[in-house]
């Protein structure tokens, strides 16, 4: 493959190597329930709460949302994870917070410094949950009392939230919601899957509008993904097409009347939720970039593609199929696109990365960034004007933050 080159404008002369991984001690917790016995070591380790939410703000600070002892905590780092501020508690009352790979806390920082956090509170009833929100208007020193965003009053499934902001005050939260399914069943009607709902704010989370139904008949527990485009927020979801074909679709939250657009055609026909959502990003050209996993009749494995208007690239397979590549994530900024995913070779897990500096037209070879033999979260890429990081939370090594500017900036002549 052609190697890409790119230069961040503020990093002239900045030298980083792959050895600059920062390990931060991880706190105690309760598990990565998405781990499957077939990919774990023979002696299954104790479950540990490892899924975290991370983001970069306008100043390049790294923000971290993590769950410890049934409380959601937020902290920030000014030195790419070498040191973090004292954690601030977002949830004053202990609650069961979703923190597996498909259902992690989300965190974003607006241009004025408002810190926005969403998460799923898991209720005692099976599969039931609430979408919760809190914000900080004093740079993360204190947080508002958490509120429930789903407004139907039902004790049912409201889970797998995603959060996106335009940075200027508009906040959008989308999630999977079972209210329509429950209402249909109460009438004796069939209802395949669940629905996608959203709520939005125009004042950085001070107030939220009533919930809005975006689409019905989505997969029940594949995480949603949101990105902000020049035309507003766009969501990626695993939809149910036909009787039980579970492929991916995108929808504009500002053009709900247009419905969803099918963007994968893998023909995965399964009467169950794969528990394996996709990832979505937009670049400086306005292109959408997405990653997903499938086990369909037309394709099997983990894939990437880009969408520009009505044009779609051919799917590009990611990873070594013998090493069970899965749970890819994508971020983009300007012309640069970064992909990360996790592999398991039977002994250790690997955090892998590929990058493009021409909007996804050409790609680097895969890089193996980090290894871990214990339980771990999925690697999460981040990118901003000044830096690019890969964050990987592991049970044995703790929270690992790897600056990858030097890798992305490298020139092969």
**174 in a domain, yes or no?**
yes
Q: What pLDDT is attached to residue 272?
A: 87
Residue 284 reports pLDDT greater than 70: yes
**11 in a domain, yes or no?**
no
Distance set, CA 35 to CA 99, 192, 262, 351, 374 (Å): 13, 27, 29, 15, 11
The tally of domains found in the chain comes to: 1
User: β-strand 225-229 against 194-201: which pairing, if any?
Assistant: unpaired
**3 in a domain, yes or no?**
no
**136 in a domain, yes or no?**
yes
**16 in a domain, yes or no?**
no
Is 198:136 a contact under the CB 8 Å cutoff? no
Strand partners, 302: 293
**13 in a domain, yes or no?**
no
Is 72:119 a contact under the CB 8 Å cutoff? yes
Is 376:392 a contact under the CB 8 Å cutoff? yes
Q: What percentage of residues in the chain have a pLDDT greater than 90?
A: 84
Is 161:106 a contact under the CB 8 Å cutoff? yes
Band the pLDDT of 406: cuts 50, 70, 90: confident
pLDDT in tens, 305-318: 999 999 999 999 99
The residues, any chain, with a CB within 8 Å of residue 322's CB and separated by 6 or more, are 345
Structure tokens at 121: 């509170």
Is 326:293 a contact under the CB 8 Å cutoff? yes
Rounded to an integer, the average pLDDT of 197-216 is 98
Q: In angstroms, what is the C-alpha Rg of the chain?
A: 20
Residue (of 202, 56, 49) closest to 115 by Cα position = 56
**5 in a domain, yes or no?**
no
pLDDT in tens, 97-150: 999 878 999 999 999 999 999 999 999 999 999 999 999 999 999 999 999 999
Domain that holds residue 320: 22-409
Band the pLDDT of 411: cuts 50, 70, 90: very low
Q: What percentage of residues in the chain have a pLDDT greater than 70?
A: 87
42-56, 113-127, 286-300, 368-382 — which is least confidently predicted?
42-56
Residue (of 214, 283, 207) closest to 249 by Cα position = 214
**182 in a domain, yes or no?**
yes
Domain CATH for 198? 2.120.10.10
Is 66:27 a contact under the CB 8 Å cutoff? yes
Band the pLDDT of 48: cuts 50, 70, 90: low
């Amino acid at each position: 493959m052609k190697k890409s080159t790119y230069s961040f404008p503020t990093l002239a002369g900045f030298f980083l190597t792959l050895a600059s991984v920062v390990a931060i001690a991880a706190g105690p917790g309760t598990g990565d329930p998405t781990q499957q016995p077939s990919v774990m070591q023979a002696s299954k380790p104790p479950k540990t709460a490892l899924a975290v939410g991370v983001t970069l703000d306008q100043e390049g600070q790294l923000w971290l949302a993590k769950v410890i002892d049934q409380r959601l905590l937020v902290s920030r780092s000014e030195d790419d994870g070498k040191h973090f501020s004292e954690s601030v508690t977002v949830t004053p009352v202990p609650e069961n917070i979703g923190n597996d790979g498909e259902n992690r806390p989300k965190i974003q920082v607006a241009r004025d410094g408002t810190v926005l956090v969403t998460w799923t509170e898991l209720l005692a009833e099976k599969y039931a949950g609430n979408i919760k929100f809190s914000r900080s208007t004093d740079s993360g020193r204190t947080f508002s009392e958490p509120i429930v965003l789903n407004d139907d009053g039902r004790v049912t499934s409201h889970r797998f939230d995603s959060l996106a902001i335009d940075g200027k005050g508009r906040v959008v939260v989308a999630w999977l919601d079972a209210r329509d399914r429950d209402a249909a069943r109460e009438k004796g009607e069939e209802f395949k899957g669940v629905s996608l709902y959203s709520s939005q704010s125009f004042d950085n989370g001070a107030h939220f509008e009533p919930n809005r139904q975006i689409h019905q008949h989505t997969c029940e527990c594949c995480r949603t993904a949101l990105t902000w485009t020049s035309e507003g927020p766009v969501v990626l979801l695993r939809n149910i097409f036909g009787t039980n074909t579970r492929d991916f679709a995108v929808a504009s939250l500002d053009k709900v009347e247009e419905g969803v657009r099918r963007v994968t055609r893998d023909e995965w026909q399964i009467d169950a939720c794969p528990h394996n959502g996709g990832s979505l990003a937009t670049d400086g050209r306005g292109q959408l970039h997405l990653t997903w996993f499938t086990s369909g009749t037309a394709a099997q494995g983990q894939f990437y593609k880009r969408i520009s208007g009505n044009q779609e690239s051919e799917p590009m397979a990611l990873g070594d199929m013998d090493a069970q590549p899965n749970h890819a994530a994508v971020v983009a900024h300007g012309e640069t696109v970064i992909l990360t995913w996790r592999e398991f070779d039977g002994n250790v897990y690997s955090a892998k990365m590929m990058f493009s500096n021409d909007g996804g037209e050409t790609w680097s070879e895969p890089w193996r960034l980090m290894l871990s033999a214990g339980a771990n979260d999925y690697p999460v890429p981040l990118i901003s004007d000044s830096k690019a990081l890969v964050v990987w939370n592991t049970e044995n090594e703790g929270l690992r933050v790897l600056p990858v500017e030097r890798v992305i900036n490298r020139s092969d002549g």
